[in-house]
Every structure is written in structure tokens, then in C-alpha cells.
Amino acid sequence: MNSVSPSAVQYVGVVMQDEQVASRRPPSLERQGSFGFRVPQASDASRDAAREPDEMDKVKAKLMSAWNNVKYGWTIKTKTSFNKISPVTILGHSYLLNNEDEVERFRRDFVSRIWLTYRREFPPLEGSTWTTDCGWGCMLRSGQMLLAQGLVVHLMPRDWTWPDAQQLTDVDFEVFRPRSPVRAGGVPIPSFGSLRGSSSPEKIPAGSQAPRCCQRKRPQSARDRQAEPIHSKLITWFGDQPPAPFGVHQLVEIGKSSGKKAGDWYGPSIVAHILRKAVAKTSVAQSLAVYVAQDCTVYKEDVVHLCDLSLSQSPAGPSDQAWKSVIILVPVRLGGEALNPSYIECVKNILKLDCCIGIIGGKPKHSLYFIGFQDEQLLYLDPHFCQPVVDVAQADFSLESFHCSSPKKMPFSRMDPSCTIGFYAKNKKDFESLCAAVSMALSSSKEKYPIFTFVEGLGQDYGLEGDSSNHSGPSAHILPPDTLSRSDNRRSSEEFVFL
């Protein structure tokens, strides 16, 4: 398994949850309401037998939790290779790793992304015995990372990076010169010394400490340090405690309205609607709204009605403050059983946009959060690593396990076609720019039909019951697994199981 671990974590041993299976009640006396007791009758035996599968389910859940804690609680650390002559793109930022400064800038950018993984030993999820999401919650974690990135660009200074990124000190990736210089198109390959005195100029590890020249060139560090309280507060919203507005407890509870429960697998489109409801439900993000596209279509007027506060009965102050920022989530399917290669260039162009906040999807049976690419490989954050729960209610809790220093890549060809793409617009002007930029990126597809479209008007104008901001069920194009759709490209993303 190709999982990701934080640099501070080495080997996590076998972790077995020390829980006892709840025993059944003695049959002698049972409480009747709140007033007394009654003697059990013959029909009670059948009811006890009917409860037996529940007890078995509890045992199964505990055994699966223990096994998954072992399976995802350790990893073999491997280094990912990046070449010097092709740019690496991370959500609108490009880095050409042909000098020490660029290597360090790339590393700081990647490490600053919020990384949310499996956790164990958190309070039981309501109505279940689950105290871990190991083995089933990876798509929820990927969705959390997508939302976290949206909140970072919403609340933090532009191009913010985590000031403590240097504390993740492992040598976790390497930069090399491709064997075939033909790929460089005749561009000379610069040579430079290694970051920590390495004798090989061909491989340049991103070391634990930046070169002095890099440390001198950080005029934004004081600003980034001032933003740290917001950074910490943002992570508490994803804590694994019932009150956390975007924690697993809340997301699982919201998912019940879509027929999901703890221990089920979630698809990228269902998670998009869960995130929308979570943001609408909480008071910590009142200036932010989430719109989920319907049937691969973004209806512009629906977004305007969701974000333009001047259209409500009580306008919110000056005109420049009368528009909510918006995260736009677009569930799509990029092919039939496998990714259609014609869409690869389009996905690359989307990831190059400043307004893009990532893609949740993965490879078959393995959810991932995609944030960039180099050449024909996607760059991602992997939630498949089980870490102990962190009590984010404590002052000065450690942030290290929420940041990853191990970039991982995989070929585009292994990408599951079912995914959800995320965008962010701070105001109305940004939304208009987003529509134009994304439409141009979508036109790069070699396919006759784009991945999704922007159209004028309201969803109801096109025969939809209501816009995605207020209907309670999944989006219109999601069909039950046993329902045939019009084409392979429109099949439900819920047909695929993500482990």
C-alpha cells in the first residue's frame, strides 16, 4: 500500500482498542417506560433473537477497527522523485526544481497544506461503536482536506505558508536529472550543490533545514506568523470530537440524511453535499457558502442567489460586503470504467488555476486528495495513515500530525474517473473571473463534450426541482447503483467503493 506518513512518526505498532463488547440485558426484569418493571413474555425470546445480529455487528466493527488500525498504523517510508526540468504545479503555483531556492519553496508550499488522515481512539460515533474511521472514512478525510484548503484561502493571507514547516526534518523526496536530456527540449540543465552537502549533484534531497540563502528570502514570515492563531483555530474545526463543525462526527451525522452511516463507504459526490450542509449548518463560516453543481452544470444565477446578500430581506452593510465567498464543488465522471485520456490535459489546466482548491477522488478502492502534477503524474495527499487522535481543545496542541512532508505521485492513468473538483471565489468579481478561467480550461479537452459547463439562469429554469443550496438529497445526476443511466459517462459515482 502506498500510504503517507508524517516525518515525526516512525513505526506505529499494533494498536488494539481495549473495548469490551456490551453484554445483553438479563432477561429476568426489564424496564417498562419510567414507572416500573414487567415480567418478560414468550415473545421476548424472538425479540432477543432479533437483537443478536446487532451484537454480532458490534463484534465485527471492533475486529475491523483493530485490524485496520494495524493495517494503516504503519508504513514503509519511500522517497518520491521529481525531475529538474519539468515544472511541478500545486494549485496554481509552479516550481521548476533546478535550484535550491525553488526546491525549498516547493517543499514549504507542500508541507503547508493541511493533511487530514484516519484517526483512532476518538469518542464513539453516535449510534455506533466506531472509535476510528480506519478502512472506511478516507473519502470523508479527502473531503475535509478539500474544505480545509478552501478555508485557508478564505481566511489566511494570500500565499500563506506554515512558519514551522522546517520542523518536519526528514529527507522525504529527491530531485534528479532525467537520463534522457531530449525531454528537456534542448534547455540546458543547471547544476548546483546539494542542500546538505550531498556529494551527488544528480540527486538533491529536500533536507531538514533550508539553505541560508533561502532563510534570508522570506519577507512574508512575520505575516505568516501573525496568522498562526487562525491556522490553529481552523484545524480545531476538523477535530475528531462531536462538537467540531467539520469533524468526522458531524460529517457522519449529516451523511445519515443521504442514507449513509458510520462504517459505510462514501463517494465523492455524496461527500460534496455533506460538506455543503456542514458549512451551512455552522456559525464559524457565516461569510462562506458552498454550491454543489447539478448534473455537471454550474447555474450562475443559483450561485448569485446563494451569495448575493443584497437579494435577501436584510442586506448586509456596504455593497462590497454584501457578497458571500463561495466554494464551488463539481461532481464529475471523467470516463467509463477508467479515466478517459482525452481529459488529462483538461485536468492539468484546472490544477494550474489559482481558483482551484483541489480534486477529491483517487484510484479504485483508494480515495486521495489531488493538489497538483508533474508531467504525467498527479501529486496528492493520502489520508490512509492511522494516527492517534489529537485533543485540539488543549492550548498549544501539536500541529505536526496535520502536515505532511512526504509528497506522493501516481500516474494519471490510475486515476478513478469519479471525482469532485473544487473552486473558490472570494467575491463577485472573483466569481466572474473564475467562470471565464475555468471555461477556458475546460475547452482544452479533446472530447466534444466538456467535463462540466457554466450556464446562465437558475437550475429550475432547466426543469430541476431546486438549486443545490437548498435541496436535501444528492444531486440530480446521482442514480441508485442498480439504475442504468444514459451513458457510461453519467453513471453514479456511488457505484464505486472507496476503502
Dump pLDDT digits (tens) for 270-304.
999 999 999 999 999 889 999 999 999 999 999 99
Alpha carbon 374 to chain centroid distance?
20
Does residue 37 surpass a pLDDT of 50?
A: no
Rg (C-alpha) for the chain, rounded Å, is 24
Question: How far is residue 325's CA from residue 388's CA, in Å, rounded to a whole number?
Answer: 34
Q: What is the DSSP letter of 489?
A: G
According to the model, what pLDDT value does residue 172 have? 64
7 in Cβ contact with 168 (< 8 Å): yes
Cα angle 481-485-489, degrees, rounded to a multiple of 5 = 100
Q: What is the per-residue pLDDT across 330-385, written as a single tens digit (0 to 9) for each?
A: 999 998 889 999 999 999 999 999 999 999 999 877 899 999 999 999 999 999 99
Concerning whether 214 is annotated as a catalytic residue, the answer is: no
Determine whether 384 is an active site residue.
yes
Q: Where are the beta strands (DSSP E) in 91-154?
A: 93-95, 119-120
pLDDT of res. 478: 33
Q: Which of 114-123, 204-213, 413-422, 445-454 has the lowest mean pLDDT?
A: 204-213
419 annotated active-site: no
**What is the DSSP annotation of 154-177?**
HHSPTT---GGGGG--S--EEEE-
Of all residues in the chain, the percent with pLDDT exceeding 70 is 65
What does the alpha-carbon distance between residue 165 and residue 214 come to, in Å, rounded to a whole number? 13
Q: What is the pLDDT of residue 322?
A: 85
Binned at pLDDT 50, 70 and 90, residue 449 comes out as confident
Q: Quick one: pLDDT band at residue 329, thresholds 50, 70, 90?
A: very high
Q: Are 405 and 172 in contact (CB under 8 A)?
A: yes
Least confident of 53-62, 334-343, 462-471: 462-471
The ranges assigned to domains in the chain are 84-165+225-495
- What's the rounded Cα separation, in Å, for the pair 286 and 266? 26
Q: What pTM does this model have?
A: 0.74
Average pLDDT, the chain: 75
**Beta strand extents in 17-92 (DSSP E only):** 30-32, 36-38, 80-83, 88-90
* Whether 121 contacts 301, CB under 8 Å: no
Catalytic residue among 231, 249, 366, 384: 384
- Which of 109, 133, 240, 382 does the annotation list as catalytic? 382
- 57 pLDDT band, cuts 50/70/90, is low
pLDDT, position 56: 62
Residue 240 to residue 73: CA distance in whole angstroms? 17
Q: Is the pLDDT of residue 391 over 90?
A: yes
* Assigned C-alpha cell, 433: 473571473
User: Which range is least confidently modeled, 18-22, 87-91, 235-239?
Assistant: 18-22
Tell me which of 109, 133, 134, 138 is the catalytic residue: 138
- Residue 57 makes CB contacts below 8 A (sequence gap 6+) with none
Name the pLDDT band for 222 (thresholds 50, 70, 90): confident
Residue positions counted in the chain: 499
Q: What are the tens digits of pLDDT across the range 138-196?
A: 999 999 999 999 999 999 988 899 988 777 655 467 777 665 443 433 333 333 333 33
Q: Which residues contact 249 (CB under 8 A, 6 or more apart)?
A: 122, 123, 125, 126, 240, 241, 242
Higher pLDDT pick, 58 / 212: 58
User: Can you give the pLDDT at residue 61?
Assistant: 57
Please report the pLDDT score of residue 364 as a whole number.
79
Q: Is residue 403 within 8 Å of 390, Cβ to Cβ? A: no
**What pLDDT score does 108 carry?**
92
